[in-house]
């Protein structure tokens, strides 16, 4: 027997949530695995929220908004699209299948389609079964999503692709993909290291535990140190060990 899965759906009040209501009024059946959280706009959802939902134990997350161009708030769903993309990259980095996150545009009149999409999504997630990644991997992705770099990028991606940055440089899709890829990888690795450094460890120890190259770990360590997120714990036989700074004083 396939294992039961937990699905959480974030649906915008105006379209997808109303579409779900219409599915109900019209009695279109779908599996009960999905639990729906109402938000005013799909643009309310950010990568951190999505990753946190996985961390809480969801096996699939569904984001439902208005059709592109029909957003009740004009363009919230365009931002949602970018944020979902960002979340998918982070999921991939954390070893979670990106298909576990799905975004769909469903209008208030598409009750039948809503039921169909949810049936399909539930089946897909049932095939995948429960999330297999380690908690710490998801946690690292989650902290990376919460950090300012990826949040800014997820919001400004549209602007950078369409209007360009402050210097008028417009990014191509290809350039943007590379930038996102690098940044996600970098931030994810940094956060993994940060989480490991709850107890003191040397570069080599981290490298072997996270299966990363030592030079990459060293680069991330130096970055973290520069941001005063970690410090040197002690020097053992010419090898320094590092430890994360407690966040007291930051709050």
Partner 1 sequence: METIRTGVYICHCGVNISATVDVKAVAAFAEGLPSVVIARDYLYMCSDPGQELIKSDIKDLGLNRVVVASCSPRMHEPTFRNACADAGLNPYCFEMANIREQCAWVHHKGATEKAKALVASAVAKAALLEPLERKKVSVVPRALVIGGGVTGIYAALEIADKGFETYLVEKDPSIGGHMAQLDKTFPTLDCSACILTPKMVEVARHKNIQLLTYSEVKEVNGYIGNYNVKIRKKPRYVDEVKCTGCGECANACRLHGIILNEFDVGLSKRAARYVPFPQAVPLLYTVDPDRCIYITKGKCGKSPACVDACPADAIDFDQKEEELEVEVGTIVVATGYDLLDPAKRPEYGYKYTEVLTGLEFERLSVASGPTGGKIIINGKEPKEVVFISCVGSRERKGITNYELRITNSNLDNQTSKMDGGARNEYCSRVCCMYIAKQAHLVRDKIPDARVRIIYNDMRAYGKGFEEFYNRVVAEGVEYIRKELEDEVEVIKRSEDDDKVVVRTISGGIELEADLVVLANALVPRKDADELAKILKITKSGDGFYLEAHPKLRPLDTFTDGIFIAGCCQSPKDIPDSVAQAVGAAIRASIPLMRGEVEVEPLVAIINENICVGCGTCEVSCPFDALSLEAGVMRVNEVVCKGCGSCGSACPSGAISMRHFKDEQIYAQIEAMCLQKL
Residue ranges that bind partner 1, judged by CB under 8 A: 4-6, 8, 13-15, 17-18, 20-25, 27-33, 35-41, 43-46, 49, 52-53, 56-58, 69-70, 72-76, 79, 83, 107-110, 115, 146-149, 151-152, 154-156, 159
The least distance separating partner 1 from the CB of residue 223, rounded to whole angstroms, comes to 18
Residue among 30 and 188 whose Cβ is closer to partner 1: 30
Residue among 91 and 203 whose Cβ is closer to partner 1: 91
The least distance separating partner 1 from the CB of residue 126, rounded to whole angstroms, comes to 11
The least distance separating partner 1 from the CB of residue 154, rounded to whole angstroms, comes to 8
Residue among 123 and 159 whose Cβ is closer to partner 1: 159
Geometric angle at alpha carbon 112, from 49 and 57, rounded to 5°: 25
Residue among 148 and 167 whose Cβ is closer to partner 1: 148
- C-alpha distances (whole Å) from 92 to each of 88, 98, 149 are 6, 6, 18
Geometric angle at alpha carbon 99, from 141 and 213, rounded to 5°: 40
Please, which residues have CB within 8 angstroms of residue 240's CB and are 6 or more apart in sequence?
202, 203, 232, 233, 234
The least distance separating partner 1 from the CB of residue 233, rounded to whole angstroms, comes to 29
Residue among 11 and 221 whose Cβ is closer to partner 1: 11
The least distance separating partner 1 from the CB of residue 132, rounded to whole angstroms, comes to 17
The least distance separating partner 1 from the CB of residue 49, rounded to whole angstroms, comes to 7
Residue among 164 and 234 whose Cβ is closer to partner 1: 164
Structure tokens at 30: 């779908």
Of 83, 103, 81, the residue nearest 16 (C-alpha): 103
SS3 104: strand
HEC string for 164-231:
CCCCCCCCCHHHHHHHHHHHHHHHHHHHHHHHHCCCCEEHHHHHHHHCCCHHHHHHHHHHHHHCCCEE
């Amino acid at each position: 027997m396939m294992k039961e899965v937990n699905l959480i759906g974030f649906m915008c009040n105006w379209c997808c949530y109303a579409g779900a209501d219409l599915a109900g009024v019209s009695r279109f059946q779908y599996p009960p695995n999905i639990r729906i959280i109402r938000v005013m706009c799909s643009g309310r959802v950010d990568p951190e929220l999505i990753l946190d939902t996985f961390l809480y134990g969801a096996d699939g997350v569904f984001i439902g908004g208005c059709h592109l161009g029909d957003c009740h708030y004009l363009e919230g769903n365009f931002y949602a699209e970018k944020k979902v993309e960002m979340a998918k990259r982070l999921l991939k980095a954390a070893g979670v299948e990106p298909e576990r996150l799905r975004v769909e545009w469903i209008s208030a009149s598409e009750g039948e389609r809503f039921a169909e999409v949810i049936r399909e999504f539930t089946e897909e997630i049932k095939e995948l079964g429960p999330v297999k990644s380690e908690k710490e991997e998801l946690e690292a992705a989650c902290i990376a999503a919460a950090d300012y770099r990826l949040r800014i990028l997820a919001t400004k991606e549209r602007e950078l692709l369409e209007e360009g940055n402050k210097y008028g440089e417009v990014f191509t899709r290809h350039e943007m993909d590379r930038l996102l890829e690098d940044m996600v990888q970098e931030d994810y690795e940094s956060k993994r290291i940060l989480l490991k450094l709850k107890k003191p460890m040397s570069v080599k120890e981290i490298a072997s535990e996270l299966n990363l190259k030592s030079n990459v770990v060293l680069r991330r360590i130096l970055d973290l140190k520069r941001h005063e997120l970690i410090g040197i714990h002690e020097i053992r036989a010419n090898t320094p060990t590092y430890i994360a700074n407690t966040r007291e004083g930051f709050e």
